[in-house]
Amino acid sequence: MLTLSRVVLHPTYRGAGIGYRFIRRCCELTGYPWIETLTQMGHVNPVFERAGFRRVGVSRTVERSRASHSLLYRRQKHGQKAALLTRETYDKSRFANPVYYIFDNRAHAARHGPASGGR
């Protein structure tokens, strides 16, 4: 599974339909069968739904340690601990309720083969 994060489009081009088309096409070309993302903006901007992602749920605010909160945003590598969010990011986002989305890319992944790089 691949995690998509930090999609930013210059304000001049927002609202023109570029973002969701770009996200969808990039996902289709990855070769990964499943792609996930967490975004606070999912509450107000449907860009991921328009790109074909399914809204799975919302992370609810609970008091979390920096380590447990970091797990929401960073995957653990095999046999390694997940990297911690910076203190600044933790302080800004610890009360966030990000929306969790997943993209079913199995049809395109089969056509494009395995993604380059390790999975």
pLDDT in tens, 13-57: 888 999 999 999 999 999 899 999 988 888 888 999 999 999 999
Q: Is 51 exposed, middle or buried (0-12, 13-18, 19+ CB in 10 A)?
A: buried
Whole-structure pTM value: 0.71
